[in-house]
Chains A and B, each alone.
Chain A
Amino acid sequence: MSKNTELTCIVCPLGCKLSVLQGEDDSIIEISGHSCKRGLSYAQTECINPERVITTTVRIRGGQMPLVSVKTDKPIPKTLMMKCMKIINRIEVMVPVKVGDTILENILETGANLVATGNAT
């Protein structure tokens, strides 16, 4: 059974409606609706391996404020987002924290590190 996925392209404000036809092994048979090359590659990535950067917060101890903001330094597979959140929400770090500090290495074996995006003292 082949399957058809409808997507909205986010590469530019045009927001083309993309249609991706995939075969049984998820290989792409046909992409339509795009109006540029970037749209084509967006459709491919979104259907085969969609990835997102997670931006959230972790608890800190000893600081003026209770949280510091963090992000994954690379996009991680979209399907792992909620699982990552569970791990991140269990983390607590001591002050001081500076922008760029690594909070957790190689989260869920994705190769992405969790790094601080804010400062905490």
Chain B
Amino acid sequence: MREADLVVIGGGPAGMAAAVEAARNGVEKVIILERDHTLGGILPQCIHNGFGLHLFGEELTGPEYADKFIKQVEELNIDVKLNTMVLDITQSRIVTAVNSQDGLIKIKAGAIVLAMGCRERTRGALNIPGTRPSGIYTAGTAQRLVNIEGYMPGKKVVILGSGDIGLIMARRMTLEGAQVKMVCELMPYPGGLNRNIVQCLKDFDIPLRLGHTVVNIHGKARLEGVTIAKVDEKGKAIADTHEFVECDTLLLSVGLIPENEISRDASITIDDVTAGPVVNESAETSVPGIFACGNVVYVHDLVDNVTNNGYIAGRNAARYLKERAGDTVKANANILQVRPGQGVRCVIPQLVHGNCPEDVTLSFRVDGIYRDVMIEAKADNQVIKSVKKRITTPGEMESITLSREMLQSIESGKIEVCLSSLERKGD
């Protein structure tokens, strides 16, 4: 069996950041296992710009952002195994992987960082009725076909879901000569950023049909059209609002799911709401020595935040390896549970050590559009920190930072993050 100090599973932005940060913190043998033929994860196909504004102060495209980190991985001599699929990890940190060069590989790791990212929801996850013709793609698959492989998936396009990938693909398909007929969004508000609504749809006069969904799919060999319908407040299609839209391509941009098969198989505790591992402020999962970062934990809005999350995992994996060597791992005393309260869907990390040596930033997603609200962190029946927000939407993660002094003084073992003064709701 091979041995490594740190095995990083996934070579996207989270995995590269974790590997780089661990190497910089003195970890000697770091291996990245990546199933694709290049590092970068989803970035190489995200050829639009807007990445890196927070981290580098400039607007980079996805491939440029990836390139910066690929160079750092090379400079630090981090071992990278491409075209390599991880099959299994164990609680004793044995990683089993396979590729066509080495065959089956087993690596005994001092620590593991999970950075497998997420996967798109498909037609099957939505249960859209109708026939099963070709021409139905997830937006990310279409993005790969257009931007990497050089194929156009179709000429007349309907997009379901107004998440950012769907909006970006509306523009991309239009620029490449397709006719994008409309973007349908189930919710009464768009899922993607304002900027993408303006620059990807309005710039090209593509209609955005809010409160609409696809209720039927037509065509035998190839998609011939879809039936769309208005939905009521509960998201249920209204019968007499059916409308046929002719198209040869349907793109689905209906959400991402963290990819946690190997985490589940290793009995790592998974959060039902985020579908990612439960983590503490050190990005450590329920299994000591196994860390998780980036979109495998929860779906981030910005790659800059994914990178920062990767740094946390890398730094703490390095610390774990050092402490374990010196046998000074502290008992998990005074663990605080972090819970979502009113108006909040989920909070990350789910666990925080009361005696942690640094300030902790809690990231969370709200469950609707709210204007003029207070974000509050509550513990021991009082508000310990509050921040005023003029607007908060489910499309953009919010955060609140608690100082270590605040954390130390909490006695009840619980922190709740919630919104208060919800007078004006909706849009």
Contacts and interface: CB of A to CB of B under 8 A. Distances in A.
Interface of A: 7-10, 13-15, 52-57, 59, 65-67, 69, 71, 78, 81-82, 85, 89, 99, 117-119
B147 A67 contact: yes
A7 B194 CA distance: 11
Contact of A65 (B148, B193, B198, B203): B148
Contacts of B48: 55
A78 B197 CA distance: 16
Contacts of B148: 65, 67
B396 interface: yes
B401 interface: no
A23 B48 CA distance: 35
B368 interface: no
B195 interface: yes
B63 A56 contact: no
Contacts of A78: 203
A10 B199 contact: yes
B47 A57 contact: yes
A81 B176 CA distance: 11
Contacts of B176: 56, 85, 89
Contacts of B62: 69
Given A10-B195, A10-B198, A56 B175 contact: yes
B372 to A, nearest CB: 11
Interface of B: 44, 47-49, 59-64, 67, 146-150, 175-176, 193-195, 197-199, 202-203, 390-391, 393, 396
Nearest to A84: B175
Contact of A52 (B147, B150, B194, B203): B203
A81 B194 contact: no
A55 B49 contact: yes
B150 A66 contact: yes
A10 B148 CA distance: 29
Contacts of A56: 47, 175-176
Nearest to A81: B175
A71 B175 CA distance: 13
A13 B396 contact: yes
A69 B61 contact: yes
B195 A67 contact: no
Contacts of B67: 99, 118-119
B393 A117 contact: no
29 contacts: A8-B194, A8-B198, A10-B194, A10-B195, A10-B199, A13-B194, A13-B391, A15-B194, A15-B391, A52-B199, A52-B203, A53-B49, A55-B47, A55-B49, A55-B61, A56-B47, A56-B175, A56-B176, A59-B150, A65-B150, A67-B148, A69-B61, A71-B61, A78-B203, A82-B175, A99-B63, A118-B63, A118-B67, A119-B63
Contacts of B64: 99, 117-118
B204 to A, nearest CB: 9
